[in-house]
Amino acid sequence: MTVREIVKRFTFIEIFQGMALTLKRMFSHAVTIQYPKERRHIAPGFRGQHALAKNQAGQAKCVGCGLCATICPSQCIHIARAKGQVDKYEIDILRCIYCGFCVEACPYGAIVLTENYEYSDYKKENIYMKKDKLLSNWDKYMPGKKGEEYFKKFWRPMSDDFGTPPIQAVWRGKKQ
């Protein structure tokens, strides 16, 4: 055993170094947030609760082609049609895995995933989303221009993705 190791062993130097670090961190800002009072920033395009999109006339864009129900890996979308209209559009939220494939498969841009993630409830019926609830989600979470912006950014793929768009993120800083 070298002198250095003996000194290390009897002075507890590595323990004190660690404790000094924790002491230093005591005076830095807290990284935690107090959840119900504070909320974290939700990035746009967050894959939360669903909404059925409305067109400018205020009607549902959905025509009922059923592609979302076909591609859904957990088969949680149920659609029924009657008399040239979408009679029933239901999403079993408890089955949904939030992959966002329904948004990608829809050729009509009729379904979106909103930023709402707080919808726990005591009753199962309240979590089973019916058509009018899904439509009201659109007014609630995608008001004004927000809906349009969502489709521009997160309804993918677009032709841009198969070619080179004029504005693309690249590293602009100094190269090392």
Partner 1 sequence: MLKVEKTFETRELNVNMGPQHPATHGVLRLVLDIDGETIVKVTPYVGYLHRGIEKLGESLSYFQALPLTDRMDYVSAMSNNIGYCVAVEKLFGIEAPERAKFIRTIVGEMSRIANHLLWLATHALDIGAMTVFLYCFREREWILDLYEMICGARLTVTYPRIGGVRNDVPQEFLESLWKFTDEFPSRILEYETLIDQNRIWLKRTVGIGVISAEEAVNWGMTGPTLRGSGIPYDIRKHAPYDAYDKVDFDVPIGTEGDTYDRYRCRMLELRQSNRIIRQCIEKLPKGPIMADAPKFTLQPKDAMFPVTHPTKQHAYYIEEKVCKGCGMCLRACPAKAITGEKKKPHKIDQAICLQCANCLAVCKFKGLKIVPGGKGLSEDKLKELAAAPLPEEITKATEHLVEHFTFVKRGPRAPEGELYVATEVPKGELGFYFVSDGSGKPYRMRVRAPSFIHAGCLPRLCVGHLVADVIAAIGTIDIVLGECDR
d(CA 64, CA 83): 12
Contact at 8 Å (CB) between 131 and 86?
Answer: yes
Q: Is 162 in the site for partner 1 (CB under 8 A)?
A: yes
Q: Is 92 in the site for partner 1 (CB under 8 A)?
A: no
d(CA 46, CA 50): 11
- Give the SS3 label for residue 79: strand
Question: Could you say which of 39, 88, 124, 153 contacts partner 1 (CB under 8 A)?
Answer: 153
Which helix (H) or strand (E) segment is 125 a member of? helix 124-127
Instruction: Identify which of residues 51 and 113 has a Cβ nearer to partner 1 in the complex.
Output: 113
Q: Which stretch binds partner 1 (CB under 8 A): 20-28, 121-129, 131-139, 140-148?
A: 20-28
Question: What is the b/e burial string over 11-40, where b = at least 16 CB atoms within 10 angstroms of the residue's CB?
Answer: eeeeeeeeeeeeeeeeeeeeeeeeeeeeee
Q: Is 108 in the site for partner 1 (CB under 8 A)?
A: yes
Q: Is 11 in the site for partner 1 (CB under 8 A)?
A: no
Summarize as ranges the residues that interact with partner 1 (CB under 8 A). 8-9, 14-15, 17-18, 21-22, 25, 31, 42-43, 45-47, 55, 61, 63-67, 70-71, 73, 79, 81, 83-86, 97-101, 104-105, 107-109, 113, 153-165, 168-171, 173, 175-176
